[in-house]
Amino acid sequence: MNGLDWFFNGDYGSAAPNWPAMFLGLLLAFGAGQIIAWVYMLTHSGLSYSRSFVNALIIMPTLVSLVMMVLSNNLITAFGMMAVFAIVRFRNILRDTLDTAYILSVLVIGMACGTQKFSSAVLGCGLLSMVLVFLWYTSFGSRHRYDIIVNLHWARSMKEIEDLRRILSRHSWKTHLANQRSHEGYEGTDLSYRLLLRDSNRVEDLLSELRQVTGVSRVTSMLAEDESEL
């Protein structure tokens, strides 16, 4: 710790900072946010699911923890922060919760610099950046991951669908039958599969093998990008 004294002595707050407690608080907030986000992912139902909101659930506890540390019971600083945030919010419509978190991040870092808590500013900036990169790199919050949507017409009986599934399982880790449509007077069934591929560069091989299966026709595919689940 002695070698980093120059860094940890960079806070000129009214009270001496307790660095281990500060680091523990930030880590605990990050871990707790991750638990809450997982619970949200597990229990959320409906169409309003947003990966961005899940990311905000993780970053917010860490961010608020840093805000409270920088404020350190200073009511004037707290009012100042709320005023700046209100001004930014007044001129910008923040539709995304994660955008709000980013605004709050730069506000708290600016506050830390302005109140001469230089070490806290550097530490908070580094930790928040690491968490945000982690969320992006791991695609945190994506629930229904798939690489490709395959639509086809199955002319045989559904009892013989195993022939088709064997091909799909050969090329994909996960196979999900998203849609199955058949109606009276219509021969066969229209199927729509979502696939998480074993090798996303061999889509053509998959489609070629599917077309060779007896009873399969009208095979079409659509690649799903990472942004398909916002």
Partner 1 sequence: MATMDSLPPIPTPVAQRWREFRIQILPIITFVAILSMTVMMWRNFVQPSGLAGDAEVVKANVISLHDGVVDEPRAELSQSVTNSQVIGTIVGTDPDVLKAAVATVEAELPSTRP
Interacting residues with partner 1 (CB under 8 A): 20-21, 23-24, 27-28, 30-31, 34, 134, 137-140, 142, 145, 166-167, 169-171, 173, 197-202, 205
| Contact indicator for 124, 25 with CB cutoff of 8 Å | no
Smallest distance from the beta carbon of 69 to partner 1, in angstroms?
15
State the nearest-atom distance from the C-beta of 1 to partner 1, in Å. 13
Between 153 and 198, CB nearer to partner 1: 198
Given the complex with partner 1, which of 92 and 139 has the nearer CB atom? Answer: 139
CA–CA separation, 88 vs 104, rounded Å? Answer: 10
Report the amino acid identity of residue 24: L
Q: Residues 30-37: contacts with CB within 8 Å, 24+ apart?
A: 30/58, 30/61, 30/62, 30/127, 30/131, 32/61, 33/57, 33/58, 33/59, 33/60, 33/61, 33/62, 34/58, 36/61, 37/140, 37/141
Q: Between 84 and 197, whose beta carbon lies closer to partner 1?
A: 197
Spatial contact of 61 and 105, defined as CB atoms under 8 Å apart: no
Nearer Cβ to partner 1 (87/133): 133
Tell me how far, at minimum, the Cβ of 154 lies from partner 1, in Å. 18
Which CB, 30 or 154, lies closer to partner 1? 30
User: Going along the chain, which residue ranges are E strands?
Assistant: 148-154, 172-181, 189-197, 216-223
Q: Inter-axis angle of helices 19-43 and 51-71, to 10 degrees?
A: 160
For helices 162-171 and 203-212, what crossing angle results, to 10°? 170
Q: How far is the CB of 70 from partner 1 (least distance, A)?
A: 20
How far apart are CB 29 and partner 1 at their closest, in Å? Answer: 10
Closer residue to partner 1 in complex, CB, 86/158: 158
CB of 192 to partner 1, least distance (A): 22
For residue 199, how many C-alpha atoms fall within 13 Å in the half-sphere facing its CB? 7
